[in-house]
Amino acid sequence: MDAQRGNWSSNTGLILAATGSAIGLGNLWKFPFITWENRGGAFVLVYLICIAAVGLPIMMAELLIGRKTQKSIVGALRDAAGPVWGIVGGWGVLCGFILLSYYTVIAGWSLFYFGKTAGWMMTGFPSGMALGDLFAEQSSNGGLQLGLSVAFSIATVSIVYFGVQKGIERISRLFLPVLFAILVLLLFSALGMSGSGEALAFIFQPNFNELEPGAILEALGHSFFTLSLGMGAMVTYGSYISRTQSVVKASATIVLLDTLIALLATVIMFSVIFSVPGMEEQIGGSTVGMLFISLPELFFTEVPFGRFLGPLFYVLVALAALTSTISLLEVVASYMIDEHGVARQKATLMCGATVFMFTILAAVSFGAVSGVSDLAVPGALGETLFGGKIGWFSMADHFVSNWMLPTGGFAVTIVAGWFMTKEDTMSELMDGTQPGWFSYGAWRFFIRFVAPTAVAAIIIAVTIFGVDFS
């Protein structure tokens, strides 16, 4: 294998890196919020079904396409399905590029709140502090946003710069155990709170009377988005898998760990929220309200040992974000390495610097620079592609979530299910490393019929009914 590309040293390295890519702000931020919005239990059950029926088959498809071709997303789809599909792969590279440009800003918020909670650990929570105002002030401070984004960007570039084994895999082996340890510590603390029983019942006891049709679609959408599917990350990571490593085992483990993290994070957050009367009104109608406005104060006022656990929680958020930004940059850098023969170090620096030009636009989208904050595409085109959103941050988020990820994922299901031969896919999945529970026939049915239908439903919901998954 080309030294510029490298490979994973073991199945554990692959699982930790790919799990790190999947575990991100979607687990710690969006999933708890949409579970709250959709009244818990029944929604969670539907979500788990969608993960098994849609997320897992597509995860296997992306990893096998990568391993079969030993190329990043552009070359992988071109080799697997024909020259025109290289253009579709370019769509995935662009998706990773745009997503990274604003994801870094959100990741920077975790650094800000780590700094704040670490300071409050020493001084105590400021009396009369309005965290809604604090969030508005920091997000509209262009200099602060840029500084936080620079810090996160440098960390991301520094890791990808050193390649697969010495960079991505080494950091994943270090960070993922730390992430799990912090999560377990927070979980034990949360389960000791008065509202933990109510939280567990809310999450795991289905009440189908409260399940609305829109909730089913949202569960389907998030089951797809949460696993880093549709953007080329798993195809790229799959291209580093050796023949001795199991695609099936890796896929199942990644999906299981990602889902477990999302559920544990939800238990932690809801245990805190249900321990305080009237929190439903305080959370508000956004994910920001839950993660960056309600929880910081609750850690210091309601959680046992909260002044120590609060900073740890935002370290957890930062680590989850960093393992995701690493995979996004790798999608872009690997394209330059594979398709244009650029050395890894040069490709990483070039791509990191270019992405950051657009990160600047995202960082000043909250009022710091009026021309950027007011940026919009007028008319029907703006409504269709960007949901009428204003500012680069919101526009990019809407376009990626509602258009780029679903179409990219749909393309993968078509390539793996209809363009690749049965022999090609079977050789990757039934290679002697697969577990006894795996059925190739079942996978082939789901990837040909169930998964593309489900993803098509997401696309139809966006295009015809105006559903917003951002």
For 206, the 3-state DSSP assignment is coil
Confidence at residue 4, expressed as pLDDT on a 0 to 100 scale: 60
Question: Residue 283 falls within a domain, yes or no?
Answer: yes
Q: Which string of b and e fits 111-142 if b means at least 16 CB within 10 Å?
A: bbbbebbbebbeeebeeeeebeebbeebbebb
CB atoms under 10 Å from CB of 70, counted, come to: 18
Average pLDDT, the chain: 90
Question: Residue 87 falls within a domain, yes or no?
Answer: yes
Question: Residue 426 falls within a domain, yes or no?
Answer: no
For the chain, give the percent of residues with pLDDT over 90.
Answer: 57
Predicted confidence (pLDDT) at residue 412 exceeds the cutoff of 60 = yes
Confidence at residue 450, expressed as pLDDT on a 0 to 100 scale: 96
Cα distances from 429 to residues 52, 229, 250, in angstroms, run 17, 18, 11
- Average pLDDT of span 218-240: 89
Confidence at residue 189, expressed as pLDDT on a 0 to 100 scale: 87
pLDDT tens sequence across 80-118? 999 999 999 999 999 999 999 999 999 999 999 999 999
Quick one: which of 112, 148, 144, 103 has its CA closest to 131? 112
DSSP, residue by residue, 367-385: TTSHHHHT----HHHHHHH
Question: Residue 431 falls within a domain, yes or no?
Answer: no
187-191 — which CB contacts under 8 Å span 24+ positions? 187/264, 187/267, 187/268, 189/303, 189/304, 189/305, 189/306, 189/309, 190/267, 190/268, 190/271, 190/272, 190/303, 191/267, 191/271
Confidence at residue 2, expressed as pLDDT on a 0 to 100 scale: 55
Confidence at residue 442, expressed as pLDDT on a 0 to 100 scale: 97
Confidence at residue 421, expressed as pLDDT on a 0 to 100 scale: 96
Rounded to an integer, what distance in angstroms lies between the CA atom of residue 254 and that of residue 19? Answer: 5
Cβ(163)–Cβ(236) below 8 Å: no
Question: Residue 380 falls within a domain, yes or no?
Answer: no
Rounded to an integer, what distance in angstroms lies between the CA atom of residue 231 and that of residue 405? Answer: 6
**Ramachandran category for residue 378: left, alpha or beta (phi over 0 → left; psi -120 to 50 → alpha):** beta
> Which segments of 288-422 are extended strands (E)?
none
Rounded to an integer, what distance in angstroms lies between the CA atom of residue 331 and that of residue 155? Answer: 16
Question: Residue 274 falls within a domain, yes or no?
Answer: yes
Rounded to an integer, what distance in angstroms lies between the CA atom of residue 416 and that of residue 420? Answer: 5
pLDDT tens sequence across 249-271? 999 999 999 999 999 989 988 88
Give me the number of domains the chain comprises.
1
Rounded to an integer, what distance in angstroms lies between the CA atom of residue 41 and that of residue 133? Answer: 33
pLDDT tens sequence across 420-437? 999 999 999 999 889 999
CA dihedral 95, 19, 64, 227 (to 10 degrees): -50
pLDDT tens sequence across 176-205? 888 888 888 889 888 988 889 999 999 999
Question: Residue 458 falls within a domain, yes or no?
Answer: no
pTM for the structure as a whole: 0.93
Confidence at residue 469, expressed as pLDDT on a 0 to 100 scale: 83
Can you read off the two tokens belonging to residue 57?
Answer: 């088959």
**Ramachandran category for residue 278: left, alpha or beta (phi over 0 → left; psi -120 to 50 → alpha):** left
Predicted confidence (pLDDT) at residue 286 exceeds the cutoff of 60 = no
CATH number of the CATH domain containing 216:
1.10.4160.10
For 92, what's the count of Cα atoms within 13 Å in the CB-facing half-sphere?
33
Question: Residue 396 falls within a domain, yes or no?
Answer: no
Confidence at residue 1, expressed as pLDDT on a 0 to 100 scale: 44
Predicted confidence (pLDDT) at residue 281 exceeds the cutoff of 80 = no
- Average pLDDT of span 336-361: 96
Predicted confidence (pLDDT) at residue 226 exceeds the cutoff of 90 = no
Burial class (CB in 10 A: 0-12, 13-18, 19+), 368: middle
Predicted confidence (pLDDT) at residue 354 exceeds the cutoff of 60 = yes
Q: What is the span of the domain harbouring residue 89? A: 11-361
Quick one: which of 182, 177, 176 has its CA closest to 268? 182
- Average pLDDT of span 128-155: 90
258 vs 226, higher pLDDT: 258
Confidence at residue 282, expressed as pLDDT on a 0 to 100 scale: 58
Reported confidence tier of residue 131, pLDDT bands at 50, 70, 90: confident
Reported confidence tier of residue 284, pLDDT bands at 50, 70, 90: low
The alpha carbons of the chain give a radius of gyration, in whole angstroms, of 21
The most confident of 42-46, 123-127, 268-272, 462-466, by mean pLDDT? 42-46
For 410, what's the count of Cα atoms within 13 Å in the CB-facing half-sphere?
16
